[in-house]
């Protein structure tokens, strides 16, 4: 554990395994480290692993040993890409939430409003984009500042998480609920006084569908 910030190697490795949809046994096999060693690190039973194990894990996830130990922050836009697929990966823009208020067409993000770019897997629509959740209206599933990745071409379905441009030009991140001929934009936060469900009205438009969400490093 990093005594300065209280972050444990087990927390960081658990997050990496989750983000990469990988089991501890698979990681052990790929980096040629004994399975019991990886399991002890993940469970917290081995808080100070051997340097050789740390180096093998860090190299596999393309991070530094310092990042694995919690001495340096992980990339804020940590998007796992398999090494063999890097050449086919696509870059998608990261934008500020305020930019959504001025953009009428999310299919083409102007370069002058992009704050960053991130790598996404080859099967992600190159017209996808990322933005941070502006508030806790979708907590606990999506806390404020969660990195949200949207596809403007993916049709929404019942219970999809979507971006909606309302007739008053506000933009909402909500869950779409469909009940017969009615569609509702529902928050997840139980604080109903602050965040309320609203019916999708004439002039409201679903502009993009969530395809990925990434918690920031501080949300471990």
pLDDT in single tens digits along all 220 residues of the chain? 554 445 688 888 887 887 777 888 889 999 999 999 998 898 888 888 999 999 999 888 878 898 888 888 776 555 554 444 445 567 889 999 999 988 888 888 888 898 888 777 778 898 999 999 999 999 888 888 888 999 999 999 999 999 999 988 899 999 999 998 899 999 998 876 788 899 998 889 999 999 988 765 444 3
Domain count, the chain: 2
Report if pTM > 0.75: no
Do 120 and 20 lie in one domain? The reply is no
pLDDT score recorded for residue 86 = 47
Q: Which CATH number does the domain housing residue 50 bear?
A: 1.10.260.40
Do 124 and 211 lie in one domain? The reply is yes
> How big, in percent rounded to 5, are the helix, strand and coil portions of the chain?
25, 25, 50
Q: Give CA–CA dist 131/123, Å, rounded.
A: 19
Do 53 and 155 lie in one domain? The reply is no
SS3 148: strand
Range of the domain at 178: 83-219
- Out of 68, 93, 117, pick the residue that ends a domain: 68
Do 32 and 122 lie in one domain? The reply is no
- Nearby residues of 63 by Cβ (< 8 Å), 6 or more positions away: 16, 74, 75
pLDDT score recorded for residue 181 = 87
pLDDT score recorded for residue 138 = 92
> Strands 161-165, 147-151: parallel, antiparallel or unpaired by DSSP?
unpaired
Residues 27 and 68: beta-carbon distance below 8 Å = no
Do 93 and 179 lie in one domain? The reply is yes
Residues 149 and 210: beta-carbon distance below 8 Å = yes
Do 179 and 155 lie in one domain? The reply is yes
pLDDT score recorded for residue 117 = 81
Q: Give CA–CA dist 76/91, Å, rounded.
A: 15
């Amino acid at each position: 554990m990093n005594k300065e910030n209280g972050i444990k190697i087990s927390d960081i490795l658990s997050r990496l395994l989750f983000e990469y949809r990988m089991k501890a046994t698979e990681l052990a096999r790929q980096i040629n480290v004994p399975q019991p060693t990886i399991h002890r690190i993940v469970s917290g039973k081995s808080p100070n692993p051997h340097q050789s194990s740390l180096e093998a894990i860090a190299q596999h996830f393309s991070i530094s040993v310092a990042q694995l130990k919690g001495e340096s922050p992980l990339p804020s836009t940590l998007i796992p890409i398999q090494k063999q697929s890097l050449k086919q990966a696509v870059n998608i823009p990261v934008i500020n939430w305020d930019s959504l208020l001025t953009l009428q067409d999310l299919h083409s993000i102007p370069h002058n409003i992009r704050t960053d770019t991130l790598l996404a897997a080859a099967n992600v629509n190159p017209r996808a984009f990322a933005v941070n959740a502006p508030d806790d209206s979708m907590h606990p599933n999506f806390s404020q500042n969660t990195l949200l990745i949207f596809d403007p071409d993916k049709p929404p379905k019942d219970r999809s998480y979507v971006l909606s441009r309302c007739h008053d030009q506000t933009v909402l991140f909500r869950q779409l609920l469909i009940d017969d001929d009615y569609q509702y934009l529902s928050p997840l936060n139980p604080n109903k006084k602050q965040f309320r469900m609203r019916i999708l009205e004439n002039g409201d438009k679903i502009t993009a569908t969530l395809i990925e969400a990434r918690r920031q490093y501080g949300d471990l």
